[in-house]
């Protein structure tokens, strides 16, 4: 199978190690990997802030870029949710019938990483090794949007050396929500405080998730609090092997012990 990587713009810019981890993981599983260099932002920020018309060109560009892909896989439940759930609606709203048909044809071929592994490939043991105490934050789009269910947990439970510890109130939002954190800063900060308290109560070394956007938000608070708890995208854990651990892992933590946001 040939997999086309869709790497969301903030992951490409701020967390390039997540994309590299996906390449390493897929190649280890025997999959051929493409990275269409023409890809850009999917338009989620535009749509979430009410600029749907301005997102039409991005919808058209995404469909053109991935039109020939066998499957498209991304390390982001939120961006996959936009493409799969809202692109057909946006295309119809644009008045372009051909684009509407193209989005309906493409949408079923677009997957978030863990659902692709578990539900499309039927794989739960990817041969990973990650000797750390880890808790998992199910992001809103992975939980309530794509309904990933236990797919991330089934993968984490089969990582050798990993101790998976439950997160209290795991289903509670971290308070990010894109521009929600900007427009409702006080509410967002209160939600984030609850999430961080839950993470610290687990005594985990690492907090993992399927969306770097939420990890950016959580990681900033963990870093400011000098907690020593790192945030790591799930893809990087699944890509990790004994050899990678011996070389310092699939990523290099930022100063202060937190991988991700430092401010």
| 164 and 82 within one domain | no
Percent of the chain whose predicted confidence (pLDDT) is above 90: 80
Question: Does 253 reside within a domain?
Answer: no
| 84 and 62 within one domain | yes
| pLDDT tens-place string over residues 35-59 | 999 999 999 888 988 899 999 999 9
| 193 and 98 within one domain | no
| 196 and 155 within one domain | yes
**Tokens at 19, concatenated:** 């994309």
Give the pairing type, strands 206-209 and 133-136. parallel
| 46 and 18 within one domain | yes
Question: Does 59 reside within a domain?
Answer: yes
| 75 and 6 within one domain | yes
Range of the domain at 179: 133-246
CA distance 69 to 84: 15
| 222 and 193 within one domain | yes
Question: Does 127 reside within a domain?
Answer: no
| 91 and 47 within one domain | yes
Percent of the chain whose predicted confidence (pLDDT) is above 70: 93
CA distance 16 to 37: 14
Question: Does 257 reside within a domain?
Answer: no
Q: What is the pTM of this model?
A: 0.89
Whether 194 and 170 have beta carbons less than 8 Å apart is answered as no
CA dist list (Å): 169 to 29, 115, 191, 208, 213? 34, 23, 11, 15, 19
| pLDDT tens-place string over residues 88-132 | 999 999 999 999 999 999 999 999 999 999 999 999 999 999 999
Question: Does 102 reside within a domain?
Answer: yes
CA distance 250 to 239: 7
The per-residue DSSP string of 33-55 comes to EE--TT----SHHHHHTT-HHHH
Question: Does 255 reside within a domain?
Answer: no
CA distance 203 to 38: 42
Question: Does 128 reside within a domain?
Answer: no
| 104 and 67 within one domain | yes
| 110 and 6 within one domain | yes
What are the residues whose beta carbons fall under 8 Å from the beta carbon of 201, sequence distance 6 or more? 168
Question: Does 99 reside within a domain?
Answer: yes
pLDDT (mean) for 16-40: 96
φ, ψ at 83 (rounded to 5°)? -65, -45
Domain count for the chain, please give it: 2
Give how far the C-alpha of residue 161 lies from the chain's centroid of Cα atoms, to the nearest Å.
23
CA distance 126 to 86: 31
Eight-state DSSP code of residue 71: E
pLDDT of residue 247: 63
| 203 and 241 within one domain | yes
Of 121, 150, 178, the domain-final residue: 121
CA distance 134 to 152: 12
Q: Which residues pair with 111 in a beta bridge?
A: 73
């Amino acid at each position: 199978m040939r997999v086309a990587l869709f790497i969301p713009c903030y992951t490409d810019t701020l967390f390039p190690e997540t994309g590299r981890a996906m390449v390493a993981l897929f190649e280890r599983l025997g999959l051929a990997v493409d990275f269409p260099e023409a890809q850009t932002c999917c338009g989620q920020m535009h749509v979430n802030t009410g600029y749907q018309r301005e997102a039409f060109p991005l919808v058209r560009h995404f469909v053109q870029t991935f039109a020939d892909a066998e499957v498209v896989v991304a390390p982001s439940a939120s961006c996959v949710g936009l493409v799969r759930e809202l692109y057909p609606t946006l295309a119809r709203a644009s008045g372009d019938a051909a684009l509407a048909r193209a989005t309906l044809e493409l949408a079923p071929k677009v997957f978030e990483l863990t659902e692709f592994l578990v539900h499309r490939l039927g794989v739960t043991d990817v041969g990973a090794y990650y000797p750390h105490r880890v808790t998992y934050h199910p992001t809103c789009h992975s939980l309530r949007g794509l309904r990933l269910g236990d797919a991330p947990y089934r993968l984490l439970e089969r990582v050798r050396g990993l101790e998976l510890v439950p997160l209290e109130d795991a289903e509670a939002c971290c308070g990010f929500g894109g521009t929600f954190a900007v427009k409702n800063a006080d509410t967002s900060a209160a939600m984030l405080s609850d999430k961080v308290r839950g993470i610290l109560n687990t005594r985990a070394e690492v907090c993992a998730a399927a969306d770097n956007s939420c990890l950016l938000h959580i990681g900033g608070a963990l870093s400011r609090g000098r907690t020593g708890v790192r945030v790591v995208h799930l893809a990087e854990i699944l890509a990790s092997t004994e050899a990678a651990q011996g070389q310092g892992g699939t990523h290099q933590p930022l100063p202060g012990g937190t991988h991700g946001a430092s401010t």
